[in-house]
């Protein structure tokens, strides 16, 4: 099935929205809107809670983001406003609210977080994306998620995340996950490796994205080794890159 991946090479991608964790908390509606306003595609993270509701959050728990010792999957989705992010007025958002904010204006790289509820999570994500008119793709570190999406939703643009952690990288390589996906999302620490560059040379139909670009050195490496990159700006931490031109030239 032919898929149009061209949009994945057209705009830089804001990591968890265009955020600074001061005014614009990561994976918040405000950070998503900020990315839209500046013309960036967005990378974001989704969990399925125990109450079968999709929420946006990166970590497995809220200790770092909200100073609360609670798992993301255990949140009370009837009262998400109680989970304030980084001391701001922004709270953990619903997946549907994210879709309403973006509304097809920019592309989405949606990461399904590793889960034992693979079928339920994948099915719920695709249920909520049914009828969505914007450009999106799905990625995951979780091989089971990628395999499920590959088998049951072959029309979706699909990516395998490759970490620098040896065991995850070893498993993804061992099972030749690159054959099942349309794009590879590779940690910037590893993009130079022969394994990935050989795939890039031999598989012209695949898009290569790298994460997470924060420094000028990594930015130069990303441009040299991949088709696109996911970034954070200098607003979050001194020494990080300036916001790049959203349009890839």
What pLDDT sits at residue 58? 98
Identify the band that residue 9 occupies on the pLDDT scale cut at 50, 70 and 90. very high
Identify the band that residue 7 occupies on the pLDDT scale cut at 50, 70 and 90. very high
> Could you tell me how many residues make up the chain?
249
Cα–Cα nearest to 122, from 104, 139, 136, 108: 139
Q: Inform me whether the pLDDT recorded for 239 exceeds 90.
A: no
44-88 residue pLDDT tens: 999 999 999 999 999 999 999 999 999 999 999 999 999 999 999
Cα–Cα nearest to 42, from 101, 1, 93, 85: 101
- H or E element, residue 174: helix 166-174
What sign does the dihedral 169-47-91-130 (CA atoms) show? positive
What pLDDT sits at residue 237? 80
Average pLDDT of the residues in 1-29: 95
174-228 residue pLDDT tens: 999 999 999 999 999 999 999 999 999 999 999 999 999 999 999 999 999 999 9
Cα–Cα nearest to 169, from 150, 151, 189: 189
CA distance to 25, 43, 196, per residue, from 58 (Å): 12, 11, 26
What pLDDT sits at residue 1? 64
CA distance to 9, 46, 67, 236, per residue, from 83 (Å): 35, 16, 9, 21
Average pLDDT of the residues in 219-239: 92
Average pLDDT of the residues in 23-43: 98
pTM of the model as a whole: 0.97
Burial 26-46 (b: 16+ CB within 10 A, else e): bbbbbbbbbbbeeebbbbbbb
More confident position, 235 or 111? 111
Instruction: Specify whether the CB–CB gap between 101 and 71 falls below 8 A.
Output: no
Instruction: Specify whether the CB–CB gap between 113 and 46 falls below 8 A.
Output: yes
CA–CA separation, 184 and 200 (whole Å): 9
102-147 residue pLDDT tens: 999 999 999 999 999 999 999 999 999 999 999 999 999 999 999 9
Q: Under DSSP, is residue 66 helix (H, G, I), strand (E, B) or coil?
A: helix
What pLDDT sits at residue 203? 97
């Amino acid at each position: 099935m032919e898929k149009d991946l061209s949009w994945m090479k057209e705009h830089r991608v804001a990591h968890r929205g265009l955020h600074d964790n001061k005014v614009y908390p990561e994976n918040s509606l405000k950070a998503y809107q900020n990315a839209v306003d500046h013309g960036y595609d967005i990378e974001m993270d989704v969990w399925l809670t125990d109450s079968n509701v999709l929420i946006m959050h990166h970590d497995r728990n809220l200790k770092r983001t909200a100073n609360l010792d609670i798992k993301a999957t255990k949140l009370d989705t009837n009262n998400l406003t109680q989970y304030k992010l980084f001391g701001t007025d922004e709270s953990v958002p619903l997946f549907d609210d994210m879709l309403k904010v973006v509304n097809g204006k920019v592309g989405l790289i949606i990461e399904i977080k590793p889960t034992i509820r693979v079928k339920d999570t994948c099915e719920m994500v695709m249920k909520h994306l049914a009828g969505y008119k914007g450009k999106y793709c799905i990625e995951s570190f979780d091989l089971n998620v990628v395999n499920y999406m590959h088998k049951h939703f072959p029309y979706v643009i699909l990516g395998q995340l490759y970490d620098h952690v040896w065991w995850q990288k070893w498993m993804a390589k061992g099972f030749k996950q690159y054959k099942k996906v349309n794009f590879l999302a590779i940690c910037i620490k590893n993009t130079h490796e022969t394994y990935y560059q050989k795939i890039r040379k031999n598989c012209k139909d695949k898009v290569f994205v790298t994460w997470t670009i924060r420094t000028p050195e990594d930015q130069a490496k990303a441009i040299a080794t991949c088709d696109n990159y996911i970034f954070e700006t200098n607003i979050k931490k001194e020494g990080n890159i300036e916001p790049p031109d959203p349009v890839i030239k």
